[in-house]
């Protein structure tokens, strides 16, 4: 029996057979040819249709169990739809296979041209996508590709750290985590980025931070939090920018990069917003820096530190009274006031001397509201209004360059002169 060429097949007839006994493939094929013979006339005689190639090879798959047989019959056809349907209907008339009663049920007549059409459509889509992708892009796309290649090639080093080409000469830089972050910023036109190289902060970063204004641009994940905590313990940065939550700087789009940088927050503001979190990070750095001896000016000999002087305050009876405070308080107040001279700013501390924030001196009243401040050190004169504000907000210490005539108060007022060991007038 000739097998119908696949290229001419239009339909596949599928049927299910159930027999009351053990039957095999030759028995089923013999029943198909024998019991349909003469049913549809000479034009639709199965043997003749198969000889001429209009019916393909009949395939039969059988299995037997518990004395019964079942199986599947497939018949390819290149006849038209109506003739194929007649052949399928004739096969359902078979009632016996060999000596056994049997029943054949047509399960499906499939038009394989539908499958071919689907294959053709899918293939055409794939070819079209390839054509579109390989087509010449617009001039703007070409220009942007060239720019990106140039920017990527411009990555260099600054203090042995991966950096953009402008990092060395720029007055401000952007600290990021790794080389991939620098590349992404370069791709988006930002050339002053420097990579810290992971959560282990290299010593070069401290020198860079002392020399330049620094914005830390970190991933929006736990790793970014860890790097920020280490930087706060090692040095004093100026601004913090974060990628959207769950995203990394290296994967941000141009729009996301610039949006994140526009929304950067100053460290002074961040301390006020997240005082409980940042205090524990910054405290080790503050304690370490206060413990380090100050370097003498060139040509000036080192001298033993003078004993900490007693500090004077105004109590509720308006009388001056010398008091003693812990040395670490005096040291931190003196250090803080020295850094503030000329800035017209104020530092706010909690009761553990964690720095809560740095604000303009004129904004102290608004800044104290809603926080638990213990001490305020400012570059300015402590006056009556300031003392009343401090007392209202339960501030224990006010430290300034000088003082005015003060009301009766429980606030301890310390002046620059007292911190330097001189009596205040």
Q: What would the pLDDT profile of 199-237 be if each residue is shown by its tens digit?
A: 677 888 888 888 899 999 999 888 888 888 888 877 888
pLDDT at residue 137 is higher than 90: no
| One domain, residues 54 and 96 | yes
- Is the residue at 223 inside a domain? yes
CATH number at residue 31: 3.30.70.60
Q: How far apart, in Å, do the first and last CA atoms of the chain sit?
A: 124
Token pair of 95, please?
């009632």
Confidence band (pLDDT; 50, 70, 90) for 314?
A: very low
In a shared domain, residues 162 and 101: no
Domain shared by 258 and 151, yes or no = yes
Given 206, 229, 263, the domain boundary residue is 263
Among 263, 283, 300, the domain-final residue is 263
The residue range of the domain holding 17 is 6-114
> Does any domain span residue 42?
yes
Residue 200 and residue 264: Cα distance in Å, rounded? 23
CB 71 within 8 A of CB 17: yes
In a domain, 291, yes or no: no
**Same domain assignment for residues 321 and 224:** no
Which of 205, 229, 263 is the C-terminal boundary of a domain? 263
| pLDDT tens digits, 358-378 | 888 888 887 887 788 899 999
Q: Is the residue at 123 inside a domain? A: no
Asked if 154 and 73 sit in the same domain, the reply is no
What per-residue confidence (pLDDT) applies to 240?
Answer: 92
Q: 320 with 408, same domain?
A: yes
Instruction: Assess whether 94 and 155 both reside in one domain.
Output: no
Determine, yes or no, domain membership for 270. Answer: no
CB under 8 Å to 117, separation ≥6 — which residues?
none
Same domain, 150 and 259: yes
Locate tokens 């039957």: which residue?
A: 23
151 and 246, same domain (yes or no) = yes
- Please give the structure tokens belonging to residue 159: 């203090």
Q: How many domains does the chain fold into?
A: 3
pLDDT of residue 199: 64
Residue 10 lies in a domain: yes
Sign of dihedral through CA atoms 245, 247, 253, 254? positive
């Amino acid at each position: 029996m000739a097998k119908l060429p696949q290229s001419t097949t239009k339909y596949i007839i599928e049927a299910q057979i159930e027999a009351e006994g053990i039957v095999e493939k030759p028995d089923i094929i013999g029943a198909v040819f024998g019991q349909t013979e003469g049913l549809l006339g000479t034009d639709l005689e199965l043997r003749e249709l198969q000889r001429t190639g209009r019916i393909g090879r009949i395939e039969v798959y059988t299995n037997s169990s518990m004395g019964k047989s079942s199986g599947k019959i497939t018949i390819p056809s290149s006849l038209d739809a109506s003739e194929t349907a007649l052949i399928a209907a004739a096969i359902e008339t078979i009632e016996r296979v060999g000596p056994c009663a049997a029943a054949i049920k047509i399960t499906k007549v499939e038009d394989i041209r539908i499958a071919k059409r689907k294959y053709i459509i899918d293939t055409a889509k794939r070819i079209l996508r390839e054509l579109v992708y390989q087509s010449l892009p617009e001039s703007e796309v070409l220009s942007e590709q060239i720019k990106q290649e140039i920017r990527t090639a411009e990555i260099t080093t600054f203090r042995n750290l991966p950096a953009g080409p402008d990092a060395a000469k720029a007055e401000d830089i952007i600290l990021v985590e790794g080389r991939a972050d620098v590349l992404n910023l370069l791709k988006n036109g930002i050339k002053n980025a420097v990579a810290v190289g992971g959560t282990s902060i290299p010593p070069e970063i401290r020198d860079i931070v002392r020399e330049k204004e620094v914005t830390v641009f970190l991933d929006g994940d736990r790793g970014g939090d860890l790097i920020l905590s280490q930087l706060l313990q090692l040095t004093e940065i100026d601004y913090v920018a974060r990628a959207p939550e769950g995203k990394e700087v290296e994967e941000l789009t141009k729009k996301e990069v610039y949006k994140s940088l526009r929304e950067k927050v100053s460290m002074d503001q961040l301390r006020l917003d997240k005082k409980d979190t940042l205090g524990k990070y910054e405290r080790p750095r503050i304690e370490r820096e206060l413990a380090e001896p100050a370097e003498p000016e060139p040509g000036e000999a080192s001298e033993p530190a003078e004993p900490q002087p007693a500090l004077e305050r105004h109590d509720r009876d308006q009388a001056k009274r010398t008091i003693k405070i812990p040395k670490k308080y005096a040291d931190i107040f003196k250090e803080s006031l020295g850094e503030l001279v000329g800035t017209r700013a104020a530092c706010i501390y909690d009761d553990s001397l964690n720095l809560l924030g740095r604000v303009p001196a004129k904004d102290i009243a608004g800044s104290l509201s809603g926080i638990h401040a213990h001490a305020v050190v400012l570059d300015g004169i402590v006056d009556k209004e300031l003392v009343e504000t401090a007392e209202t907000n339960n501030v224990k210490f006010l430290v300034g360059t000088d003082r005015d005539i003060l009301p009766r108060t429980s606030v301890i007022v310390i002046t620059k002169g007292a911190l330097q060991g001189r009596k205040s007038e």
